[in-house]
Structure 1
Amino acid sequence: MSTQASKLEALMDAQHNGRGGTRVVAITSGKGGVGKSTLSANIAYVLASRGYRVGLMDADIGLANLDVMFNVRAERNILHVLKGEARFEDIVVPLEENLFLIPGESGDEILKFSDATIVSRFIDESQMLEGLDFLIIDTGAGIGDTIQMFLKAADEVVVVTIPDPAAITDAYAMVKVISRIKSDLSMIVNQVRNAKEGMKIFETIKKVAFGNIGEDLELKMLGSVRSDAHVARSVKQRVLVCKELSNIAPAGDIEAIAMAIADKKEHKMLERGREGGIGTFFKKLLGQF
């Protein structure tokens, strides 16, 4: 048996691991270039290294690039499964122990499928992913309809911004749009000089949001990540900061954020039991729930 096949078999065998179902976390941004994909990849890696089974889904429509970041080749993607040209087990790519890539589609065709038979088969196929503890979704930037579908279907939404006036304005616009479909969301401020700067930016966005949206919105600071030239170089070299440069400040910041995400799952299990799961997520995404 090949290594890939054995890893996928282990994932499928974990479907009944009793760890509370799959928590779907969508990581998004108001504009591109804020480090969203880098954060998604590294957060997924940290969670996997801590023993959680993690799926990383590339939903950056129009710029699906996580396969490039991990230096792997994805021959087929989720659209092939919807078309019946592949099974889920054919497209899932094992990256590290406990970490699996689910290649996205560079286009919005995935959301055009509404045939009940096709969707039903697709949902059945997706059951192989029920062994995941987390599904981290790297969405596209902006507030387009396709992106909003992913955000609406996710259990948790995280907005990423940076200390740039345009990025901060776009992040607020993103929060405003998401507030119509989610009552709570989190924020990461990337590329900051220090934690104080990150918190100041978050508080500014929160104040404006509360003033215009209302205090029913639960906007929480998930964390900030300090700027470091090594991060930009790591992207070009196709290496993960949290794996290869774990001693630098941003790696520690990302690890803390990943653990905060893990804590939310643990609290959910204590308070209300299991997450909705992969099947529920795809039903919502494809308009069947």
Structure 2
Amino acid sequence: MTRVDPTDSQRTRLLEANAHRCCVCKRPNLGLHLHHIDGNSSNTVDDNLAVLCVEDHDRHHRPGPYSATVNHLDLSPKVIAEHKESWEAFVIEARRETPMVVATLAAYGTEECIHSLQLVMQWPDERIEYKRSFHLLDANLDRLTDEIIAEVQAIGPHVQLISLSEPLPIDHCPCCGTGYSRTIKPALVARLTDPTWQTDSICSIYINPKQPSLAISVALRDRHLFSGSLHLCQGKFLHYANDYFDERVPLRDSPSVRAQASAIVRSVLKEWSPANLLIGTGNHDSPSLIENLDLPRCWEKRANPSFHRTCAKSRAGR
């Protein structure tokens, strides 16, 4: 077997295709090797060359010294080939003018004291391609933020960076605790990245004329993305359930139940910002379209106030 080394132009091309990162760990600023995946050093074609950092290259050729480490990876030829294919495809998508992949930034700690940050880059179906943690022990928040933005832009200048609200407890910090990486649901990725959303997205709302209930559906062209429902529960709660969560909102004394229910629906519309809105009522199979979100009077069936007073007296007498 006569070894054939990669040409300079081939090396440049492969490094660029991998965003100058190891296709396994994706860490920046590391020494990189071109590895012959099938072990044949004469088969020096692009498809058989994987960009690996020194450490991961060593893990493949000398797995024994790493077998007891927590971060050990089974870097067989098959696994390396899978990493190469996935990462190079991700870089291609990330560098499009309107990429369908996104980056999310999650914080760990409290709003008053952020402990660490984690950058996750994901496919539309929530598959995580790359993640990296940043600790405030290493730099202040402003510097880390600049570093994170630069990290995303180095992989794809048009990739959207989405900052997730409500920091997670430190116990979930990927480096210090059990580890928990947050991703964006496929439907939300479509809303954030698809350039046709502002023209082709549609939300349909069906209002039950006889019961205090309604259904919400969001779609992009012929692709269904999201379903939700809202109904009056026991005259005491507005029960809103969707594909991602389920919650019961206690009724307030004012405004009217219909106004409170309409506010929930408007918040859903604001979140999804559909280009087109259809509101229907009447026959479920063939609803009549209406212009406004007018809920019927059956929504005003509050629980009997005397029931609440009786319960309050009962609790006070215990």
TM-score between the two structures when normalised by the length of structure 1: 0.24
Q: Going by fraction, where is helix more abundant, 1 or 2?
A: 1
Which structure's relative contact order is higher, taking Cα pairs within 8 Å and 6+ residues apart? Answer: 1
- Bigger radius of gyration: 2
TM-score between the two structures when normalised by the length of structure 2: 0.23
